């Protein structure tokens, strides 16, 4: 069973949409003009605050997008896009596929007081079947007491490991080569333990 984390705040979801728009408008090509970069940051911050964030800070100067905000209830959230350093194997709970390259522009991480969501896209020249077998073995080894799903359709493979009690979902999707590279998309959703 795949669960959606519907409790993510509207501000957090707005962050994701606005950050993607920001990349399209100004950050994607790593705009060199500081004035337009600052204007884009201020535009997103104002929009977040208009949509209920008590405060918001957008940083495009690092070559990736980082948005932090605090909602009207004082709960912080962070969204990062394009920062491979924001995702580690340990935090993901799975190894990166050996020899695969990270699609750096599309690595994403969203975190609020209750959840962490990670998206890690990878590319490899290995056959999709080999990649799927690698992750199938890893996820099956972790599946005791959890739900494991293995789906295949038209060359695409999706593997899901869900732990409803622990509040975690891991998903690996493998697609046939496009331009000679098999595409891997790993997503992890983790509910934080109450403190």
pLDDT at 31 (0 to 100): 40
**Among 113, 111, 135, 117, which Cα is nearest to 184's?**
135
DSSP symbols for 141-156: HT-TTSEEEEEEETTE
The DSSP bridge pattern shows strands 101-102 and 115-124 to be antiparallel
Tell me, what's the pLDDT at 57? 76
> Nearest-5° angle of CA 120, CA 167, CA 150?
60
pLDDT at res. 123:
94
pLDDT reported for residue 127: 92
Q: What is the pLDDT of residues 39-70, one digit of tens each?
A: 877 887 778 777 777 677 777 777 778 788 88
Average pLDDT, the chain: 80
What contacts 57, CB < 8 A, 6 or more positions away? 45, 67, 68, 69
d(CA 14, CA 169): 23
Residue 81 or 158, more confident: 158
Q: Sorting pLDDT into bands at 50, 70 and 90, what band is 34? A: low
Residue 184 burial (10 A CB sphere; 0-12, 13-18, 19+): buried
pLDDT band at 192 (very low <50, low <70, confident <90, very high): confident
| Structure confidence by residue, pLDDT tens digits, 87-144 | 889 988 899 999 999 998 889 999 988 899 999 999 999 999 999 999 999 999 999 9
For 5, the 3-state DSSP assignment is coil
Integer Cα distance of 188 and 173 in angstroms: 12
**167 has pLDDT over 80:** yes
**What integer pLDDT is reported at residue 13 of this predicted model?**
44
| pTM for this predicted structure | 0.72
Q: Where does the pLDDT of residue 33 fall: very low under 50, low under 70, confident under 90, or very high at 90 and above?
A: low
């Amino acid at each position: 069973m795949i669960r959606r984390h519907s409790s993510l705040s509207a501000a957090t979801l707005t962050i994701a949409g606005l950050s993607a728009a920001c990349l399209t408008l100004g950050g994607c090509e790593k705009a060199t003009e500081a004035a337009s970069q600052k204007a884009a940051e201020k535009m997103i911050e104002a929009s977040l605050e208009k949509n209920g964030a008590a405060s918001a800070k957008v940083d495009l100067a690092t070559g990736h997008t980082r948005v932090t905000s605090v909602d009207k209830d004082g709960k912080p959230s962070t969204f990062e896009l394009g920062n491979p350093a924001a995702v580690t194997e340990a935090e993901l709970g799975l190894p990166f596929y050996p020899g695969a390259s990270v699609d750096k522009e599309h690595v994403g991480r969203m975190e609020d007081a209750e959840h962490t969501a990670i998206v890690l896209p990878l590319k490899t020249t290995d056959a999709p079947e080999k990649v799927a077998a690698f992750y199938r073995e890893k996820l099956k080894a972790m599946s005791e007491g959890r739900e494991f799903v293995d789906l295949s359709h038209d060359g695409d493979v999706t593997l899901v490991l869900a732990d409803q009690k622990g509040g975690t979902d891991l998903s690996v999707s493998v697609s046939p080569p496009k331009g000679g590279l098999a595409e891997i998309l790993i997503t992890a959703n983790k509910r934080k333990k109450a403190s």
